Structure 1
Amino acid sequence: MHPAPSIILFTVLSGLGFGLMIFLGLGMPSPTGLSAFIWFAIAYILAVGGIISSTFHLGNPKNILKSFSQWRTSWLSREGCLAVATLLVMGVYGAALVFLNMRIPLLGYVGSALALATVYGTSMIYAQLKTVPRWNHPTTSVMFIAYAVSGGALLAGQVSLAVWFLPAAALLQLFIFLTADGRFGAAGSTIASATQLGNIGSVRQFEPPHTGSNYLMKEMIHVVGRKHALKLQIISVVLLFTPVLLLLLPFSHALALVAVLAHVAGVIVARWLFFAQAEHVVGLYYDKR
Protein backbone atom coordinates (compact mmCIF):
# COMPACT_ATOMS: atom_id res chain seq x y z
CA MET A 1 0.00 0.00 0.00
CA HIS A 2 1.12 3.56 -0.68
CA PRO A 3 2.51 4.98 2.61
CA ALA A 4 0.83 8.40 2.48
CA PRO A 5 2.47 10.84 4.95
CA SER A 6 -0.93 12.22 6.01
CA ILE A 7 -2.17 8.79 7.11
CA ILE A 8 1.09 7.98 8.88
CA LEU A 9 0.87 11.26 10.82
CA PHE A 10 -2.81 10.62 11.56
CA THR A 11 -2.28 7.17 13.06
CA VAL A 12 0.88 8.11 14.97
CA LEU A 13 -0.18 11.50 16.39
CA SER A 14 -3.78 10.58 17.18
CA GLY A 15 -2.60 7.38 18.85
CA LEU A 16 -0.28 9.38 21.11
CA GLY A 17 -2.94 11.99 21.84
CA PHE A 18 -5.67 9.52 22.74
CA GLY A 19 -3.10 7.42 24.61
CA LEU A 20 -2.27 10.42 26.79
CA MET A 21 -5.99 11.02 27.35
CA ILE A 22 -6.33 7.45 28.65
CA PHE A 23 -3.97 8.25 31.51
CA LEU A 24 -5.28 11.77 32.13
CA GLY A 25 -8.77 10.31 32.51
CA LEU A 26 -7.45 7.81 35.04
CA GLY A 27 -5.89 10.59 37.06
CA MET A 28 -2.34 9.67 36.07
CA PRO A 29 -1.37 12.49 36.47
CA SER A 30 -4.17 14.55 37.99
CA PRO A 31 -3.18 18.19 37.44
CA THR A 32 -5.31 21.24 38.09
CA GLY A 33 -5.35 24.84 36.93
CA LEU A 34 -2.69 25.96 34.45
CA SER A 35 -0.87 22.63 34.70
CA ALA A 36 -4.03 20.79 33.66
CA PHE A 37 -4.51 23.18 30.76
CA ILE A 38 -0.99 22.38 29.46
CA TRP A 39 -1.50 18.60 29.79
CA PHE A 40 -4.82 18.64 27.97
CA ALA A 41 -3.52 21.07 25.35
CA ILE A 42 -0.76 18.59 24.48
CA ALA A 43 -3.25 15.71 24.26
CA TYR A 44 -5.68 17.69 22.10
CA ILE A 45 -2.98 19.06 19.80
CA LEU A 46 -1.76 15.51 19.12
CA ALA A 47 -5.21 13.93 18.76
CA VAL A 48 -6.88 16.70 16.77
CA GLY A 49 -3.73 17.41 14.76
CA GLY A 50 -3.59 13.76 13.74
CA ILE A 51 -7.24 13.76 12.73
CA ILE A 52 -6.82 16.95 10.69
CA SER A 53 -3.79 15.49 8.89
CA SER A 54 -5.91 12.54 7.75
CA THR A 55 -8.22 14.87 5.81
CA PHE A 56 -5.40 15.69 3.39
CA HIS A 57 -5.71 12.14 2.07
CA LEU A 58 -9.39 12.55 1.20
CA GLY A 59 -10.28 12.98 -2.44
CA ASN A 60 -13.21 15.20 -1.47
CA PRO A 61 -13.00 16.79 2.02
CA LYS A 62 -16.74 17.48 1.86
CA ASN A 63 -17.29 13.77 2.53
CA ILE A 64 -16.04 14.17 6.11
CA LEU A 65 -19.53 14.90 7.44
CA LYS A 66 -21.05 12.05 5.45
CA SER A 67 -18.60 9.58 6.98
CA PHE A 68 -20.19 9.97 10.42
CA SER A 69 -23.53 8.61 9.18
CA GLN A 70 -22.24 5.14 8.27
CA TRP A 71 -21.44 3.96 11.79
CA ARG A 72 -23.59 0.82 11.43
CA THR A 73 -21.30 -0.67 8.79
CA SER A 74 -18.10 1.38 8.63
CA TRP A 75 -15.23 1.29 11.13
CA LEU A 76 -14.04 4.60 9.71
CA SER A 77 -17.37 6.14 10.71
CA ARG A 78 -17.33 4.45 14.12
CA GLU A 79 -13.83 5.73 14.77
CA GLY A 80 -14.91 9.25 13.88
CA CYS A 81 -17.93 9.10 16.20
CA LEU A 82 -15.82 7.68 19.04
CA ALA A 83 -13.19 10.38 18.53
CA VAL A 84 -15.76 13.18 18.76
CA ALA A 85 -17.34 11.59 21.86
CA THR A 86 -13.92 11.29 23.50
CA LEU A 87 -12.99 14.89 22.77
CA LEU A 88 -16.31 16.14 24.17
CA VAL A 89 -16.18 14.07 27.35
CA MET A 90 -12.51 14.81 27.99
CA GLY A 91 -13.18 18.49 27.24
CA VAL A 92 -15.71 18.68 30.09
CA TYR A 93 -13.44 16.61 32.35
CA GLY A 94 -10.47 18.85 31.58
CA ALA A 95 -12.48 22.06 32.01
CA ALA A 96 -13.43 20.98 35.55
CA LEU A 97 -9.74 20.46 36.35
CA VAL A 98 -8.65 23.74 34.78
CA PHE A 99 -11.37 26.12 35.98
CA LEU A 100 -12.83 24.42 39.07
CA ASN A 101 -9.73 22.60 40.37
CA MET A 102 -12.00 19.58 40.63
CA ARG A 103 -11.58 16.06 39.28
CA ILE A 104 -14.73 14.13 38.34
CA PRO A 105 -13.55 10.48 38.46
CA LEU A 106 -16.54 8.93 36.67
CA LEU A 107 -16.23 11.37 33.77
CA GLY A 108 -12.52 10.65 33.57
CA TYR A 109 -13.06 6.89 33.46
CA VAL A 110 -15.64 7.25 30.70
CA GLY A 111 -13.26 9.47 28.76
CA SER A 112 -10.42 6.96 29.16
CA ALA A 113 -12.62 4.12 27.94
CA LEU A 114 -13.74 6.18 24.94
CA ALA A 115 -10.13 7.10 24.11
CA LEU A 116 -9.15 3.42 24.18
CA ALA A 117 -12.18 2.55 22.04
CA THR A 118 -11.19 5.26 19.54
CA VAL A 119 -7.74 3.73 19.11
CA TYR A 120 -9.36 0.32 18.64
CA GLY A 121 -11.71 1.83 16.06
CA THR A 122 -8.73 3.25 14.16
CA SER A 123 -7.04 -0.15 14.17
CA MET A 124 -10.14 -1.89 12.85
CA ILE A 125 -10.18 0.33 9.76
CA TYR A 126 -7.18 -1.75 8.69
CA ALA A 127 -7.61 -5.02 10.58
CA GLN A 128 -11.02 -5.70 8.96
CA LEU A 129 -9.63 -5.69 5.41
CA LYS A 130 -9.50 -9.27 4.15
CA THR A 131 -8.05 -7.92 0.90
CA VAL A 132 -4.87 -7.01 2.82
CA PRO A 133 -3.87 -10.24 4.61
CA ARG A 134 -0.96 -8.56 6.39
CA TRP A 135 -3.43 -6.34 8.25
CA ASN A 136 -6.28 -8.83 8.59
CA HIS A 137 -4.90 -10.25 11.83
CA PRO A 138 -5.55 -9.73 15.59
CA THR A 139 -2.04 -8.33 16.11
CA THR A 140 -3.00 -5.22 14.13
CA SER A 141 -5.43 -4.01 16.80
CA VAL A 142 -3.14 -5.12 19.61
CA MET A 143 -0.28 -3.18 18.01
CA PHE A 144 -2.28 0.06 17.72
CA ILE A 145 -3.41 -0.22 21.34
CA ALA A 146 0.09 -1.11 22.54
CA TYR A 147 1.53 2.00 20.89
CA ALA A 148 -1.20 4.23 22.31
CA VAL A 149 -0.82 2.86 25.85
CA SER A 150 2.99 2.81 25.86
CA GLY A 151 3.27 6.25 24.24
CA GLY A 152 0.57 7.63 26.52
CA ALA A 153 2.35 6.32 29.62
CA LEU A 154 5.62 7.86 28.42
CA LEU A 155 4.04 11.26 27.72
CA ALA A 156 2.13 11.18 31.01
CA GLY A 157 5.34 10.58 32.94
CA GLN A 158 4.17 7.22 34.28
CA VAL A 159 7.67 5.73 34.30
CA SER A 160 6.77 2.70 36.42
CA LEU A 161 4.24 1.65 33.76
CA ALA A 162 6.17 2.86 30.72
CA VAL A 163 9.18 0.62 31.48
CA TRP A 164 6.81 -2.36 31.02
CA PHE A 165 4.56 -1.09 28.24
CA LEU A 166 7.37 0.21 25.99
CA PRO A 167 9.35 -3.06 25.70
CA ALA A 168 6.09 -4.99 25.32
CA ALA A 169 5.17 -2.80 22.33
CA ALA A 170 8.67 -3.17 20.87
CA LEU A 171 8.58 -6.96 21.22
CA LEU A 172 5.12 -7.07 19.63
CA GLN A 173 6.39 -5.03 16.69
CA LEU A 174 9.38 -7.35 16.35
CA PHE A 175 7.04 -10.36 16.34
CA ILE A 176 4.96 -8.75 13.59
CA PHE A 177 8.05 -8.03 11.50
CA LEU A 178 9.09 -11.68 11.79
CA THR A 179 5.71 -13.26 11.03
CA ALA A 180 3.67 -10.92 8.81
CA ASP A 181 5.48 -11.68 5.54
CA GLY A 182 3.81 -15.08 5.24
CA ARG A 183 0.22 -13.94 5.66
CA PHE A 184 -0.41 -13.12 2.00
CA GLY A 185 0.65 -16.60 0.90
CA ALA A 186 -1.26 -18.21 3.76
CA ALA A 187 -4.45 -16.42 2.61
CA GLY A 188 -4.30 -18.49 -0.59
CA SER A 189 -4.88 -15.67 -3.07
CA THR A 190 -3.11 -16.14 -6.40
CA ILE A 191 -3.51 -14.85 -9.95
CA ALA A 192 -5.37 -18.09 -10.66
CA SER A 193 -7.91 -17.50 -7.89
CA ALA A 194 -8.17 -13.81 -8.76
CA THR A 195 -9.08 -14.58 -12.39
CA GLN A 196 -11.03 -17.79 -11.65
CA LEU A 197 -9.10 -19.46 -14.49
CA GLY A 198 -7.08 -21.90 -12.42
CA ASN A 199 -9.38 -24.81 -13.30
CA ILE A 200 -8.16 -24.83 -16.91
CA GLY A 201 -4.41 -24.77 -16.27
CA SER A 202 -1.52 -22.62 -15.09
CA VAL A 203 -2.30 -18.90 -15.16
CA ARG A 204 0.18 -16.15 -15.98
CA GLN A 205 -0.18 -12.61 -17.23
CA PHE A 206 0.40 -12.18 -20.97
CA GLU A 207 0.37 -8.37 -20.99
CA PRO A 208 -0.46 -5.60 -18.47
CA PRO A 209 -4.19 -4.70 -18.21
CA HIS A 210 -3.40 -1.23 -19.57
CA THR A 211 -0.39 0.84 -20.57
CA GLY A 212 -0.70 3.66 -18.04
CA SER A 213 -0.97 3.99 -14.27
CA ASN A 214 -4.23 4.45 -12.38
CA TYR A 215 -5.59 5.10 -8.89
CA LEU A 216 -5.44 1.45 -7.81
CA MET A 217 -1.81 1.09 -8.83
CA LYS A 218 -0.89 4.33 -7.08
CA GLU A 219 -2.69 3.65 -3.79
CA MET A 220 -2.80 -0.14 -3.50
CA ILE A 221 0.56 -1.22 -4.93
CA HIS A 222 3.84 -0.18 -3.36
CA VAL A 223 7.03 -2.21 -3.63
CA VAL A 224 9.78 -1.83 -1.03
CA GLY A 225 13.02 -3.79 -1.42
CA ARG A 226 13.52 -6.59 1.09
CA LYS A 227 16.99 -5.29 1.94
CA HIS A 228 15.68 -1.78 2.63
CA ALA A 229 12.75 -3.13 4.62
CA LEU A 230 15.11 -5.11 6.86
CA LYS A 231 17.22 -2.02 7.58
CA LEU A 232 14.13 0.00 8.47
CA GLN A 233 12.83 -2.80 10.70
CA ILE A 234 16.10 -2.84 12.63
CA ILE A 235 16.06 0.96 12.97
CA SER A 236 12.47 0.89 14.19
CA VAL A 237 13.07 -1.80 16.83
CA VAL A 238 16.24 -0.07 18.10
CA LEU A 239 14.39 3.25 18.40
CA LEU A 240 11.46 1.56 20.18
CA PHE A 241 13.78 -0.02 22.77
CA THR A 242 15.83 3.18 23.29
CA PRO A 243 13.30 4.90 25.64
CA VAL A 244 13.36 1.87 27.95
CA LEU A 245 17.12 2.24 28.46
CA LEU A 246 16.83 6.00 28.94
CA LEU A 247 14.09 5.61 31.56
CA LEU A 248 16.37 3.37 33.62
CA LEU A 249 18.91 6.21 33.96
CA PRO A 250 18.61 8.97 36.61
CA PHE A 251 15.77 11.26 35.55
CA SER A 252 16.41 14.45 33.63
CA HIS A 253 14.15 16.48 31.39
CA ALA A 254 16.64 16.20 28.54
CA LEU A 255 16.64 12.38 28.71
CA ALA A 256 12.83 12.36 28.95
CA LEU A 257 12.60 14.48 25.79
CA VAL A 258 15.03 12.20 23.93
CA ALA A 259 13.02 9.16 25.08
CA VAL A 260 9.80 10.64 23.69
CA LEU A 261 11.45 11.62 20.40
CA ALA A 262 13.03 8.15 20.02
CA HIS A 263 9.67 6.48 20.65
CA VAL A 264 7.84 8.70 18.16
CA ALA A 265 10.55 8.16 15.53
CA GLY A 266 10.39 4.40 16.04
CA VAL A 267 6.62 4.37 15.68
CA ILE A 268 6.80 6.50 12.50
CA VAL A 269 9.29 4.11 10.89
CA ALA A 270 7.20 1.08 11.91
CA ARG A 271 4.02 2.73 10.65
CA TRP A 272 5.65 3.56 7.30
CA LEU A 273 6.52 -0.13 6.96
CA PHE A 274 2.99 -1.03 8.10
CA PHE A 275 1.67 0.58 4.93
CA ALA A 276 4.59 0.05 2.55
CA GLN A 277 4.78 -3.72 3.15
CA ALA A 278 1.03 -4.31 3.06
CA GLU A 279 0.05 -6.18 -0.10
CA HIS A 280 -3.45 -5.71 -1.52
CA VAL A 281 -4.84 -8.61 -3.55
CA VAL A 282 -5.52 -6.20 -6.42
CA GLY A 283 -1.78 -6.43 -7.07
CA LEU A 284 -2.38 -9.93 -8.48
CA TYR A 285 -4.40 -8.44 -11.33
CA TYR A 286 -1.45 -6.22 -12.27
CA ASP A 287 1.13 -8.97 -11.70
CA LYS A 288 2.79 -6.88 -8.98
CA ARG A 289 2.77 -9.56 -6.29
Structure 2
Amino acid sequence: MRLAVTGKNGQVTRALQALAGPDLQIEAIGRPELDLADAASVALALQDVQADAVISAAAYTAVDKAESESDMAFAVNRDGAGAVAAAANKLGLPVLHLSTDYVFAGTKDAPYVETDETGPTSVYGQSKLEGEQAIAAATANFAIFRTAWVYSVYGNNFVKTMLRLADTRDELNVVADQVGCPTSAHDIATALVAAAGQMVESDAADLRGIFHLAGSGETSWAGFARYIFELRAEKTGKSMLVNDIATSQYPTPAKRPANSRLDCTKLRDTFGITMPDWRTSTRQVVETLFKEAGVIS
Protein backbone atom coordinates (compact mmCIF):
# COMPACT_ATOMS: atom_id res chain seq x y z
CA MET A 1 0.00 0.00 0.00
CA ARG A 2 1.24 3.47 -0.87
CA LEU A 3 0.05 6.40 1.24
CA ALA A 4 0.40 10.08 0.42
CA VAL A 5 0.75 12.10 3.62
CA THR A 6 0.42 15.87 3.76
CA GLY A 7 3.16 17.55 5.78
CA LYS A 8 6.79 16.51 6.10
CA ASN A 9 7.76 17.21 9.70
CA GLY A 10 4.73 16.65 11.91
CA GLN A 11 4.73 14.05 14.66
CA VAL A 12 2.24 11.77 12.93
CA THR A 13 3.97 12.05 9.55
CA ARG A 14 7.29 11.07 11.09
CA ALA A 15 5.65 8.21 12.98
CA LEU A 16 4.13 7.01 9.71
CA GLN A 17 7.52 7.15 8.02
CA ALA A 18 8.91 4.96 10.80
CA LEU A 19 6.36 2.29 9.85
CA ALA A 20 7.39 2.19 6.19
CA GLY A 21 8.62 -1.08 4.75
CA PRO A 22 8.31 -3.38 1.73
CA ASP A 23 4.51 -3.51 2.04
CA LEU A 24 3.97 0.10 3.08
CA GLN A 25 5.31 3.12 1.21
CA ILE A 26 4.88 6.52 2.83
CA GLU A 27 5.23 9.55 0.57
CA ALA A 28 5.30 12.70 2.71
CA ILE A 29 4.63 15.85 0.71
CA GLY A 30 4.75 19.43 1.90
CA ARG A 31 6.00 22.84 0.92
CA PRO A 32 7.04 23.91 -1.61
CA GLU A 33 5.52 21.04 -3.65
CA LEU A 34 2.30 21.08 -1.64
CA ASP A 35 1.09 24.31 -0.07
CA LEU A 36 -2.22 23.98 1.73
CA ALA A 37 -2.92 27.63 1.00
CA ASP A 38 -2.66 26.89 -2.75
CA ALA A 39 -5.33 24.45 -3.96
CA ALA A 40 -3.68 24.02 -7.36
CA SER A 41 -0.43 22.85 -5.77
CA VAL A 42 -2.35 20.36 -3.64
CA ALA A 43 -3.98 18.74 -6.66
CA LEU A 44 -0.73 18.55 -8.64
CA ALA A 45 1.29 17.14 -5.73
CA LEU A 46 -1.21 14.39 -4.92
CA GLN A 47 -1.56 13.47 -8.59
CA ASP A 48 2.19 12.92 -8.85
CA VAL A 49 2.34 10.52 -5.89
CA GLN A 50 0.01 7.86 -7.36
CA ALA A 51 -1.07 6.69 -3.92
CA ASP A 52 -3.75 4.27 -2.77
CA ALA A 53 -5.04 6.67 -0.11
CA VAL A 54 -4.33 10.14 1.27
CA ILE A 55 -3.65 10.93 4.91
CA SER A 56 -4.38 14.59 5.62
CA ALA A 57 -2.03 15.24 8.54
CA ALA A 58 -0.69 18.74 7.90
CA ALA A 59 -2.30 21.53 9.88
CA TYR A 60 -1.83 24.90 11.50
CA THR A 61 -1.35 23.81 15.12
CA ALA A 62 -0.12 26.97 16.91
CA VAL A 63 -3.20 27.08 19.13
CA ASP A 64 -2.46 30.38 20.88
CA LYS A 65 -0.96 32.13 17.85
CA ALA A 66 -4.11 31.28 15.87
CA GLU A 67 -6.00 33.82 17.98
CA SER A 68 -4.02 36.58 16.25
CA GLU A 69 -3.41 34.74 12.95
CA SER A 70 -6.93 33.59 12.19
CA ASP A 71 -6.61 34.12 8.44
CA MET A 72 -3.69 31.70 8.27
CA ALA A 73 -5.37 29.18 10.56
CA PHE A 74 -8.49 29.06 8.38
CA ALA A 75 -6.49 29.06 5.14
CA VAL A 76 -4.66 25.92 6.23
CA ASN A 77 -7.10 24.08 8.49
CA ARG A 78 -10.30 24.79 6.57
CA ASP A 79 -9.42 25.66 2.98
CA GLY A 80 -6.33 23.45 2.85
CA ALA A 81 -8.15 20.46 4.27
CA GLY A 82 -10.94 20.97 1.76
CA ALA A 83 -8.43 21.19 -1.09
CA VAL A 84 -6.81 17.91 -0.05
CA ALA A 85 -10.21 16.20 0.09
CA ALA A 86 -11.24 17.62 -3.30
CA ALA A 87 -7.98 16.46 -4.89
CA ALA A 88 -8.35 12.99 -3.37
CA ASN A 89 -11.92 12.80 -4.61
CA LYS A 90 -10.85 13.72 -8.15
CA LEU A 91 -8.31 10.89 -8.02
CA GLY A 92 -10.87 8.46 -6.61
CA LEU A 93 -8.91 7.99 -3.37
CA PRO A 94 -10.09 7.79 0.24
CA VAL A 95 -8.86 10.60 2.47
CA LEU A 96 -8.11 10.09 6.17
CA HIS A 97 -8.01 13.41 8.00
CA LEU A 98 -6.72 14.23 11.49
CA SER A 99 -8.87 16.54 13.54
CA THR A 100 -8.96 17.48 17.20
CA ASP A 101 -10.77 17.49 20.53
CA TYR A 102 -10.79 21.31 20.26
CA VAL A 103 -13.93 21.09 18.11
CA PHE A 104 -15.79 20.58 21.40
CA ALA A 105 -16.45 23.16 24.13
CA GLY A 106 -15.07 20.81 26.79
CA THR A 107 -18.02 21.26 29.15
CA LYS A 108 -19.47 17.74 28.99
CA ASP A 109 -19.07 15.67 32.16
CA ALA A 110 -18.31 12.46 30.23
CA PRO A 111 -16.11 11.48 27.26
CA TYR A 112 -17.28 12.94 23.96
CA VAL A 113 -18.80 10.70 21.30
CA GLU A 114 -18.82 11.54 17.60
CA THR A 115 -22.44 12.68 17.56
CA ASP A 116 -22.08 15.17 20.43
CA GLU A 117 -22.70 18.81 19.62
CA THR A 118 -19.55 20.69 18.66
CA GLY A 119 -18.76 24.13 20.05
CA PRO A 120 -15.16 25.24 19.71
CA THR A 121 -14.01 28.03 22.01
CA SER A 122 -10.86 28.99 20.08
CA VAL A 123 -9.91 30.07 16.57
CA TYR A 124 -7.89 26.88 16.20
CA GLY A 125 -10.86 24.72 17.19
CA GLN A 126 -13.22 26.60 14.86
CA SER A 127 -10.77 26.32 11.96
CA LYS A 128 -10.47 22.56 12.50
CA LEU A 129 -14.25 22.14 12.74
CA GLU A 130 -14.75 24.05 9.50
CA GLY A 131 -12.02 21.85 8.01
CA GLU A 132 -14.12 18.80 8.86
CA GLN A 133 -17.10 20.42 7.17
CA ALA A 134 -15.04 21.32 4.09
CA ILE A 135 -13.90 17.71 3.75
CA ALA A 136 -17.44 16.37 3.99
CA ALA A 137 -18.52 18.87 1.33
CA ALA A 138 -15.70 17.86 -1.02
CA THR A 139 -15.97 14.08 -0.89
CA ALA A 140 -18.01 11.21 0.51
CA ASN A 141 -14.92 8.98 0.61
CA PHE A 142 -13.48 10.30 3.88
CA ALA A 143 -12.76 9.32 7.46
CA ILE A 144 -12.09 12.07 9.99
CA PHE A 145 -10.18 11.02 13.10
CA ARG A 146 -10.34 13.37 16.08
CA THR A 147 -7.41 12.96 18.42
CA ALA A 148 -5.97 14.76 21.44
CA TRP A 149 -2.89 15.46 23.53
CA VAL A 150 -0.46 14.08 20.94
CA TYR A 151 3.10 13.25 21.98
CA SER A 152 6.01 11.25 20.55
CA VAL A 153 9.80 11.11 20.28
CA TYR A 154 9.53 13.69 17.48
CA GLY A 155 9.16 17.46 17.47
CA ASN A 156 7.83 19.51 20.35
CA ASN A 157 5.25 18.05 22.71
CA PHE A 158 4.28 17.80 26.38
CA VAL A 159 6.43 14.76 27.20
CA LYS A 160 9.58 16.27 25.77
CA THR A 161 8.86 19.64 27.37
CA MET A 162 8.41 18.08 30.82
CA LEU A 163 11.67 16.14 30.52
CA ARG A 164 13.51 19.23 29.34
CA LEU A 165 12.21 21.38 32.19
CA ALA A 166 13.10 18.66 34.70
CA ASP A 167 16.76 19.12 33.82
CA THR A 168 16.82 22.58 35.39
CA ARG A 169 14.03 22.54 38.00
CA ASP A 170 13.00 20.63 41.12
CA GLU A 171 9.28 21.38 40.89
CA LEU A 172 6.69 22.51 38.37
CA ASN A 173 3.19 23.95 38.45
CA VAL A 174 0.92 22.02 36.08
CA VAL A 175 -2.77 22.48 35.27
CA ALA A 176 -4.91 19.87 37.01
CA ASP A 177 -8.46 20.82 36.00
CA GLN A 178 -8.17 19.87 32.33
CA VAL A 179 -8.61 16.15 31.61
CA GLY A 180 -8.00 14.18 28.45
CA CYS A 181 -6.53 11.12 26.77
CA PRO A 182 -2.80 11.40 26.01
CA THR A 183 -2.19 9.89 22.57
CA SER A 184 1.04 8.59 21.08
CA ALA A 185 1.73 9.64 17.49
CA HIS A 186 3.03 6.10 16.90
CA ASP A 187 -0.33 4.69 17.97
CA ILE A 188 -2.13 7.19 15.72
CA ALA A 189 0.07 6.21 12.78
CA THR A 190 -0.49 2.49 13.38
CA ALA A 191 -4.26 3.03 13.54
CA LEU A 192 -4.29 5.17 10.39
CA VAL A 193 -2.42 2.53 8.41
CA ALA A 194 -4.89 -0.14 9.54
CA ALA A 195 -7.88 2.07 8.74
CA ALA A 196 -6.46 3.08 5.36
CA GLY A 197 -5.99 -0.56 4.41
CA GLN A 198 -9.63 -1.29 5.13
CA MET A 199 -10.84 1.79 3.24
CA VAL A 200 -8.73 0.88 0.21
CA GLU A 201 -10.12 -2.65 0.18
CA SER A 202 -13.75 -1.75 0.82
CA ASP A 203 -16.08 1.07 -0.11
CA ALA A 204 -18.41 0.23 2.80
CA ALA A 205 -20.23 3.30 4.07
CA ASP A 206 -19.63 2.47 7.73
CA LEU A 207 -15.88 2.90 7.17
CA ARG A 208 -16.54 6.53 6.27
CA GLY A 209 -17.47 9.37 8.60
CA ILE A 210 -16.17 10.79 11.86
CA PHE A 211 -14.28 8.72 14.45
CA HIS A 212 -12.48 9.40 17.70
CA LEU A 213 -8.88 8.19 17.92
CA ALA A 214 -7.18 8.72 21.29
CA GLY A 215 -5.22 6.80 23.87
CA SER A 216 -7.15 4.55 26.26
CA GLY A 217 -7.61 5.85 29.77
CA GLU A 218 -7.63 9.42 30.99
CA THR A 219 -5.71 11.83 33.18
CA SER A 220 -5.11 15.52 33.82
CA TRP A 221 -2.11 17.47 32.60
CA ALA A 222 -0.76 17.30 36.14
CA GLY A 223 -1.34 13.56 36.27
CA PHE A 224 0.36 13.17 32.89
CA ALA A 225 3.35 15.13 34.16
CA ARG A 226 3.59 13.06 37.35
CA TYR A 227 3.68 9.84 35.37
CA ILE A 228 6.39 11.20 33.08
CA PHE A 229 8.45 12.13 36.13
CA GLU A 230 7.85 8.71 37.69
CA LEU A 231 9.35 7.14 34.59
CA ARG A 232 12.22 9.62 34.70
CA ALA A 233 12.88 8.73 38.34
CA GLU A 234 13.08 5.04 37.42
CA LYS A 235 15.87 5.86 34.96
CA THR A 236 17.75 8.57 36.85
CA GLY A 237 16.76 8.32 40.51
CA LYS A 238 15.84 12.01 40.41
CA SER A 239 12.45 13.10 41.72
CA MET A 240 10.31 16.02 40.59
CA LEU A 241 7.52 17.76 42.50
CA VAL A 242 4.34 18.62 40.59
CA ASN A 243 2.06 21.27 42.07
CA ASP A 244 -1.56 21.20 40.92
CA ILE A 245 -2.85 24.54 39.64
CA ALA A 246 -6.11 25.70 38.08
CA THR A 247 -6.47 26.78 34.47
CA SER A 248 -7.17 30.29 35.77
CA GLN A 249 -3.65 30.37 37.21
CA TYR A 250 -2.11 29.68 33.78
CA PRO A 251 -3.88 32.03 31.36
CA THR A 252 -3.37 31.51 27.63
CA PRO A 253 -4.65 33.46 24.58
CA ALA A 254 -6.73 30.47 23.44
CA LYS A 255 -9.20 28.79 25.77
CA ARG A 256 -8.54 25.08 26.27
CA PRO A 257 -11.33 22.50 26.70
CA ALA A 258 -11.63 21.44 30.34
CA ASN A 259 -12.77 18.02 29.12
CA SER A 260 -10.86 16.61 26.15
CA ARG A 261 -11.81 12.98 26.74
CA LEU A 262 -12.82 11.14 23.56
CA ASP A 263 -14.88 7.95 23.50
CA CYS A 264 -13.32 5.61 20.91
CA THR A 265 -15.98 2.88 20.93
CA LYS A 266 -17.00 3.60 17.34
CA LEU A 267 -13.40 3.20 16.17
CA ARG A 268 -13.19 -0.19 17.85
CA ASP A 269 -16.55 -1.42 16.61
CA THR A 270 -16.03 -0.22 13.03
CA PHE A 271 -12.34 -0.77 12.31
CA GLY A 272 -11.50 -3.27 15.05
CA ILE A 273 -8.90 -0.85 16.40
CA THR A 274 -8.33 -0.56 20.15
CA MET A 275 -5.88 2.11 21.21
CA PRO A 276 -3.23 1.19 23.82
CA ASP A 277 -3.39 2.58 27.35
CA TRP A 278 -1.72 5.99 27.50
CA ARG A 279 0.65 4.84 30.26
CA THR A 280 2.00 1.99 28.17
CA SER A 281 2.68 4.25 25.21
CA THR A 282 4.11 7.03 27.36
CA ARG A 283 6.57 4.55 28.88
CA GLN A 284 7.68 3.48 25.40
CA VAL A 285 8.28 7.08 24.33
CA VAL A 286 10.15 8.06 27.51
CA GLU A 287 12.34 4.95 27.35
CA THR A 288 13.16 5.66 23.71
CA LEU A 289 14.07 9.25 24.51
CA PHE A 290 16.38 8.14 27.32
CA LYS A 291 18.01 5.56 25.05
CA GLU A 292 18.57 8.19 22.39
CA ALA A 293 20.12 10.44 25.04
CA GLY A 294 22.42 7.64 26.14
CA VAL A 295 20.96 7.55 29.66
CA ILE A 296 19.99 3.87 29.42
CA SER A 297 21.16 1.08 27.15
* TM-score greater than 0.5 by the shorter chain: no
> TM-score normalised to the size of structure 1?
0.27
Greater relative contact order structure (CA < 8 Å, 6+ sep): 1
Q: Which has the larger radius of gyration?
A: 1
